[in-house]
């Protein structure tokens, strides 16, 4: 069993290594000082000369802002420069995932699940009255949080396995199960890829901690928000079940009331399926 675990770990590392790096122009942008006035002009120039990137970005921005966005300036105004830069990275990641993981039978499930979690993050962030750029950073995180699952499926040659659909009663145990069977979990694997692609530290933390926001007293608010967003998307989940299952400590640290949770769930479930 140990040899099998080591072999899989090596295959995962090799797969991450051969995935294409972030293009140099986007990598330079993601390394830029987001507060610098030069960053906006750099972002604008990069998008304007790449029609595909512009189209993808405006589509993502419109979906996440729940309203049509038609210009780069509107995207910057609604989303903020920091989140916009990460969206540019996400646009590259989406194309790479679609190409490199096309052999996975249920890849569309991955994109659908990612969109759902992204939307739920936004609904929850509304209750914290977060600044728009912070809220959109969580929306970005929702789109990339489960990338590690794809890598593990390909490395273990399980391309026909149903990708999503983790039941809510297994949400807390999935990471432990992966470590026991495989020797590593999709959160750690995903964080390694986010580091390679130079995503913001907050996104790396979210990917790493979105199943384990509370570890021996060490609390990750960012990971916790993504964790709770999963439960918002489950139609059979109620506030009472959530409180019983997770216990009061995690919910207290997140400062999420049962009414907040129920309202976020109501908003999500009221959306037409095509908007999710």
Q: What is the mean pLDDT of residues 118-147?
A: 88
> In this structure, what token pair is assigned to residue 180?
């026991």
Q: Which residue has 């959109």 as its token pair?
A: 136
Residue 257 CB contacts under 8 Å (≥ 6 apart), including other chains: none
CA 256 → CA 37, 118, 167, 227, 243, distances in Å? 36, 18, 22, 12, 11
Residue 114 has pLDDT above 70, yes or no: yes
Q: What is the mean pLDDT of residues 158-167?
A: 57
Residue 191 has pLDDT above 70, yes or no: yes
Fold of 2-22+105-275: Hypothetical protein af1432 (1.10.3210)
Task: Concatenate the DSSP letters of all residues of 71-138 into one string.
Answer: SHHHHHHHH-HHHHHHHHHHHHHHHHHHHHTTT-TTHHHHHHHHHHHHHHHHHHHHHTT--HHHHHHH
pLDDT tens-place string over residues 115-128: 899 988 988 888 88
pLDDT tens-place string over residues 194-231: 999 999 899 999 999 998 888 888 999 999 999 889 88
How far is residue 23's CA from residue 46's CA, in Å, rounded to a whole number? Answer: 12
Q: pTM of the full predicted structure? A: 0.83
Residue 16 has pLDDT above 90, yes or no: yes
Residue 144 has pLDDT above 70, yes or no: yes
Q: Which of 200, 197, 227, 167 is nearest to 97 (CA)?
A: 197
- 13-27, 68-82, 132-146: the lowest-pLDDT one: 68-82
How far is residue 28's CA from residue 141's CA, in Å, rounded to a whole number? Answer: 20
Residue 205 CB contacts under 8 Å (≥ 6 apart), including other chains: 220, 222, 223
User: What count of other Cβ atoms lies within 10 Å of the Cβ of residue 126?
Assistant: 14
Domain coordinates in residue numbering, the chain: 2-22+105-275
Contact (CB, 8 A) for 125 and 138:
yes
Which residues does residue 218 pair with via DSSP β-bridges, in sequence order? 215
Classify the C-alpha dihedral 258-114-8-19 as positive or negative.
negative
CA 129 → CA 75, 118, 255, distances in Å? 20, 17, 12
Contact (CB, 8 A) for 236 and 265:
no
Residue 236 has pLDDT above 60, yes or no: no
- 27-41, 46-60, 64-78, 201-215: the lowest-pLDDT one: 27-41
Residue 261 has pLDDT above 90, yes or no: no
Res 160: pLDDT: 54
């Amino acid at each position: 069993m140990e040899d099998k675990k080591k072999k899989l770990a090596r295959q995962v590392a090799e797969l991450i290594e051969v995935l294409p790096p972030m293009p140099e122009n986007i990598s330079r942008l993601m390394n830029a000082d987001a507060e610098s006035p030069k960053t906006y002009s750099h972002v604008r120039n990069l998008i304007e000369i790449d029609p595909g990137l512009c189209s993808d970005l405006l589509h993502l921005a419109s979906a996440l802002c729940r309203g049509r966005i038609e210009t780069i300036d509107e995207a910057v105004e609604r989303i903020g420069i920091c989140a916009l830069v990460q969206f540019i990275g996400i646009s590259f990641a989406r194309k790479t995932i679609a190409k490199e993981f096309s052999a996975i039978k249920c890849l569309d499930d991955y994109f659908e699940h990612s969109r759902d979690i992204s939307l739920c993050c936004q609904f929850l962030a509304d209750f914290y009255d977060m600044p728009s750029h912070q809220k959109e950073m969580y929306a970005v995180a929702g789109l990339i949080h489960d990338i590690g699952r794809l890598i593990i499926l390909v490395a273990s040659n399980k391309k026909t396995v149903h990708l999503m659909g983790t039941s809510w009663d297994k949400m807390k145990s999935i990471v432990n199960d992966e470590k026991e069977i495989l020797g590593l979990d999709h959160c750690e694997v995903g964080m390694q890829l986010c580091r390679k692609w130079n995503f913001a530290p907050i996104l790396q933390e979210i990917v790493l901690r979105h199943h384990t926001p509370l570890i021996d007293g060490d609390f990750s608010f960012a990971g916790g928000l993504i964790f709770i967003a999963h439960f918002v998307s489950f139609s059979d989940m109620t506030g009472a079940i959530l409180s019983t299952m997770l216990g009061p400590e995690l919910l207290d640290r997140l400062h999420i009331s049962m009414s907040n949770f129920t309202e976020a769930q109501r908003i999500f479930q009221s959306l037409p399926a095509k908007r999710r």
